[in-house]
Amino acid sequence: MLEAGEITQWRKYPNRFFVTGVEKARIVWHEDKEEFNYNHLQGVKGEQYAKFRDTYNHIHALHRPEREQTPTTNGMQNPGLDRAE
């Protein structure tokens, strides 16, 4: 996704990623929890929200098989963003 230009990595904070074409919202990799989350989503609407949602859910789905192979510490999963438009 980085190579394709769908997301860009923030140089100042390399665990944060921006979705191309979406203002302010970002995807965050929490290394200690080994999971993705998102920040600054409030105020993102319309097409930008749909693009961010689809990209985040895609990343979350790619990461899910890796998490299923490792034991969970607290049994909680990131619910992701809603899939309905």
**String of DSSP letters for the chain:** -TTTTSEEE-SSSTTEEEETT--S-EEEEETTTTEEEEE--TT--HHHHHHHHHHHHHHHHHHHHHHHHS--SS------S----
What are the pLDDT digits (tens) for 26-68? 999 999 989 999 999 998 999 999 999 999 999 989 887 666 6
Partners of residue 8 on adjacent β-strands? 18
Residue with tokens 């985040």: 56
- Please tell me the distance from the alpha carbon of residue 44 to that of residue 52, in angstroms, as a whole number: 9
Task: Label residue 73 by pLDDT band (50, 70, 90).
Answer: very low
pTM confidence score? 0.72
- Which pLDDT score, from 0 to 100, does residue 65 have? 66
Q: Is the pLDDT of residue 80 over 90?
A: no
